[in-house]
Structure 1
Amino acid sequence: MTTNIPKHPCTNKCPNFKGEQCKTCLVQELPSSKEYDSEFLPGDVVVLIGEGTNDVLLEIVNHMYTPNMYRVKILGSRTFGPAFKDDIRHATIAEIQANRRLTEAEEALAEVS
């Protein structure tokens, strides 16, 4: 049988391999790169966007359990935590310079100057 999965790790190792990942094999298939394509990458500086959240800058560390959840740390510290994709946005240059999330009014002033 010809497979469309070139050099798949199960080939010639697992008797249940029939051209695609089997469910009994110990060789685990890695998630596709498309599954974890994202607008946020490790090292990106982000801020929380929810009302009443801390105005600290956060750094993306990596994906957590799902493509919509990230492990983040407070910039310059060792404090880690989770953040959902919908709850964060990239920090602006003005926010990075101020070392905190800016209010909408402060952001508007920063854009003018």
Structure 2
Amino acid sequence: MCNLTEHKCKGKCPEFKEEQCHHCLIQQIEKQEFELGLAPNDAYVKTTVLQQESSDFLEGDTVVFVDAFMPDDLMTVHKVQGDGILLDGNRKFALSHLLRHASTVELNAKRRLSLAEQALGEVS
């Protein structure tokens, strides 16, 4: 069987003989993989993924401020909006780079631990 009439490279591709050339077969396979959702990750445009990667926080996460001069209380993520995080039922706002997830020890202590307390916790 010959597919001369349906071959997209007919008259354009130097690899074209009587059947589809390697170039067309690869394109056809990539198109099918993309339609089936089997294409490699770098084949997709990642607009929403980039937004997700900008924040490691999800609704319900328990977080603390990174800096020691900020309050040491535990806070709950209410909503993530780009780089901004709404906390404690929309009563507080912070930029995501100012927060980190609370550790298990901090969850038990119900507050952010100082660097010295964290170091002692790692040793004992």
Task: Select the structure of larger CA radius of gyration.
Answer: 2
How would you bin the TM-score normalised by the shorter chain?
Answer: 0.5 to 0.7
- Tell me the equivalent position of 1:42: 59
- Residues 15-67 of structure 1: CA deviation (Å, up to 9, x unaligned): xxxxxxxxxxxxxxxxx632531311111111001241100001111123xx1
One-letter code of the match for 1:43? G
- Identify the range of structure 1 (36-45 vs 93-102) with the bigger mean alpha-carbon deviation: 36-45
List gaps (5 residues or longer) in structure 1.
1-31
Alpha-carbon distance in structure 1 between the residues aligned to 2:68 and 2:108: 22
Correspondence 1:111 to 2:122: yes
Aligned positions of 1:18-97 closer than 5 A:
33-37=48-52, 38-64=55-81, 67-73=82-88, 80-97=91-108
In structure 2, runs of 5+ residues without a counterpart are 1-46
Q: TM-score, normalised by structure 2?
A: 0.55
TM-score (norm 1): 0.60
More helix by share: 2
**Which of 1 and 2 has higher RCO (CA within 8 Å, sep 6+)?**
1
Name the CA shift for 1:107/1:51 in 2 (closer, same or farther; >3 Å). closer
For the residue of structure 2 that corresponds to 1:42, the secondary structure is: coil
Could you tell me how far apart the structure 2 residues matched to 1:41 and 1:88 are?
A: 12
* CA RMSD across the alignment: 1.7
**Count of residue pairs brought into register by the alignment:** 76
SS at match of 1:46: strand
SS at match of 2:86: strand
Which 4+ runs in 1 deviate beyond 3 A? none
Aligned amino acid, residue 105 of structure 1: A
Provide the C-alpha distance between the structure 2 equivalents of 1:79 and 1:40, rounded to a whole number of angstroms: 15
